[in-house]
Copies of this chain bind each other. A is one copy, B any other.
Amino acid sequence: MRIFRVEATLVATARIGNLDHHRLLVVTERGSGSKQVAVDPVGCKIGDWVIACGSSAARDAAGSKDYPSDLTIVGIIDYWDEASPGDARAAGASGGEVRR
């Protein structure tokens, strides 16, 4: 799973029929800063740090094998503690800890 920050709610009136049931959120990936769109079955707020699942598991995570998602939010991050911040910094990570 990759780590994203929730940025905005996406409005897309013209869409395929089976893309309902869930909100679509614009999310920014931690590190690369790239923007993507994720399905939200969890109920996130703008500014939340979340983990999202891609690949074929994104469909199961959205609640159905037929749901056309390739990126589904599966959890809201509370926090993590990095055991070795020195190593992480050497590897190019930009920050130490995510905490809501």
Contacts and interface: CB of A to CB of B under 8 A. Distances in A.
Interface of A: 1-3, 5, 7-16, 18-19, 24, 26, 28, 30-38, 41-43, 46-47, 51, 53-61, 66-72, 74-84, 87-88, 91-93
Given A1-B24, A11-B79, 5 more contacts: A1-B71, A8-B83, A12-B76, A26-B80, A68-B72
B15 A74 contact: yes
A51 B81 CA distance: 21
B83 A35 contact: no
Contact of A92 (B9, B33, B42, B46): B33
Contact of A91 (B33, B41, B92): B33
